[in-house]
């Protein structure tokens, strides 16, 4: 079973409170999604590998740490995942970006893939899939399957708001994929929206509908 972690840092909780408010503007929503993504990326990258290197400071010769190991690919699930990319790349500037286009049919709630473009060496990279919402889990599961089909082996899923149904579905389908969220909400309503949630993340980010 994969790990499910709620990153409940006070700054994240405070920003998420503003994000959830239906009166928050598109401009503020967009900024807050990126800010929360940066704060979460700090924790999601905690297990990155380090190696010892010797350097000279102006004062002495010493051994210090530097990053080694796998390079990173950030893969947003379009559209809403796009809103988190800049926030993650701020902390991991050398990351490559892949894209997976996925929309959820409003009636059946079934996800449909419409676009995929990944870095060539995706199988060697640590992949951080980003999407603000994990509702039924259908979109995340299909995105992860699309990545695995193309060779990706080290995958983490980073979302802002998760529903218990979505966490359970991804853990059952992908026991190797750890999930990080800023909040675990109560349930899904009969339209597949997370309750209390924050509404339609894509529409609020891009000012549509």
Q: Which residues bind ligand PRP (CB under 6 A)?
A: 77-80, 102-104, 109, 111, 131-140, 166, 192, 200-202
CB of 77 to ligand PRP, least distance (A): 5
Q: With helix as H, strand as E and coil as C, how does the chain read?
A: CCCEEECCCHHHHHHHHHHHCCCCCHHHHHHHHHHHHHHHHHHHCCCCCEEEEEEECCCCEEEEEEECCCCEEEEEEECCCHHHHHHHHHHCCCCEECEEEEEECCCCCCEEEEEEECCCCHHHCEEEEEEEEECCCHHHHHHHHHHHHCCCCEEEEEEEEECHHHHHHHHHHCCCCEEEEEEECCEECCCCCEECCCCCHHHHHHCCC
In the complex, the smallest distance separating the C-beta of residue 136 from ligand URA, rounded to whole angstroms, is 8
Please report whether residue 78 would count as binding ligand URA according to CB under 6 A: no
Give the one entry of ligand URA, ligand PRP, none that residue 139 binds, where binding means its C-beta sits below a cut-off of 5 to 8 angstroms depending on kind: ligand PRP
CA distance 32 to 68: 30
Beta carbon nearer to ligand PRP, 65 or 187: 187
Indicate which of ligand PRP, ligand URA, none lies near residue 2 (CB less than 5 to 8 Å, by partner kind). none
57 among annotated binding-site residues: no
Q: Tokens 């690919």 label which residue?
A: 73
Does 131 carry a binding-site annotation? yes
Whose Cβ is closer to ligand URA: residue 104's or residue 125's?
104
Task: Kindly state whether residue 165 participates in binding ligand URA, applying the rule CB under 6 A.
Answer: no
Among 31, 113, 165, 200, binds ligand URA (CB under 6 A): 200
Nearer to ligand URA by Cβ, of 87 and 202: the residue is 202
Interface mask toward ligand URA for 170-199; x: CB under 6 A? ----------------------xxx--x--
Beta strands at 50-56 and 178-184: parallel, antiparallel or unpaired:
unpaired
Active site members: 104, 108, 200, 203
Distance CA 110, CA 138 (A): 7
Judged by the rule CB under 6 A, the positions of this chain that interact with ligand URA are 80, 133, 135, 192-194, 197, 200-202
């Amino acid at each position: 079973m994969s790990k499910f972690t709620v990153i409940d840092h006070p700054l994240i909780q405070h920003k998420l409170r503003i994000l959830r408010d239906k009166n928050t503007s598109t401009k503020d929503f967009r900024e807050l999604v990126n800010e929360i993504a940066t704060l979460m990326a700090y924790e999601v990258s905690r297990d990155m590998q380090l190696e010892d290197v010797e350097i000279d400071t102006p004062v002495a010769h010493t051994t210090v740490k530097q990053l080694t190991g796998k390079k990173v690919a950030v893969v947003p699930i379009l559209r809403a995942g796009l809103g988190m990319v800049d926030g993650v790349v701020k902390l991991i500037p050398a990351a490559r970006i892949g894209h997976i286009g996925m929309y959820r049919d409003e009636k059946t709630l079934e996800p449909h893939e419409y676009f995929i473009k990944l870095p060539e060496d995706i199988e060697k990279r640590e992949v951080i899939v980003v999407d603000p919402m994990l509702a039924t889990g259908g979109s995340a599961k299909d995105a992860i399957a699309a990545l695995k089909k193309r060779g990706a082996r080290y995958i983490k899923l980073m979302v802002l708001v998760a529903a218990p149904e979505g966490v359970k579905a991804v853990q059952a389908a992908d026991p190797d994929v750890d999930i990080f969220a800023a909040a675990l909400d109560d349930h899904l309503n009969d339209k597949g929206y997370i309750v209390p949630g924050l509404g339609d993340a894509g529409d609020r980010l891009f000012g549509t509908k």
